[in-house]
Amino acid sequence: MLPAEFAALKPYGDWILATEPERYAKRLASSMEEMQAFYDAAFPLLEDAIAYCDKFPLTDLPDDAKALMHLMQSLVMVSFPVEVWKQARVPDSGAAYCDLIVEPVI
């Protein structure tokens, strides 16, 4: 599913999610330890992943590049909880939420 160069990320395939609501639900359902492990594995490969995906038109990504892009979007989803908040939810946000109406990429 992922490009061969990113085989080290295969154990995190459950983070390959196409929509923001799916990624947010996964974040809320994951422990900080799970998010930290994913972050630690994926973050060092972020620049290489961007360079790999940039080889293709955004509207015509091969399946492996699209999976990699979705995985990196999940990395962004866990970055604030891991780097700043130390919890999955936004601090002091109570029951507030925001639904994304349109995804940035089909």
Residue 101 clears pLDDT 70, i.e. is over it: no
Element holding 20 (H helix, E strand) = helix 20-29
| Helix H or strand E segment including 74 | helix 63-80
pLDDT, mean over the chain = 88
Q: Provide the token pair at 88.
A: 């999955």
pLDDT, tens digit, for every residue of 12-42?
Answer: 999 999 999 999 999 989 999 999 999 999 9
CA atoms within 13 A on the CB side of 74: 31
Domains in the chain: boundaries: 4-85
- CA–CA gap between residue 21 and residue 98 (Å, rounded): 10
| Residue pLDDT, tens place only, 76-94 | 999 988 987 677 765 555 5
Q: Rounded to the nearest 10 degrees, how much is the dihedral formed by the CA atoms of 6, 9, 13, 19? A: -70
- Structure confidence at residue 99 (pLDDT): 64
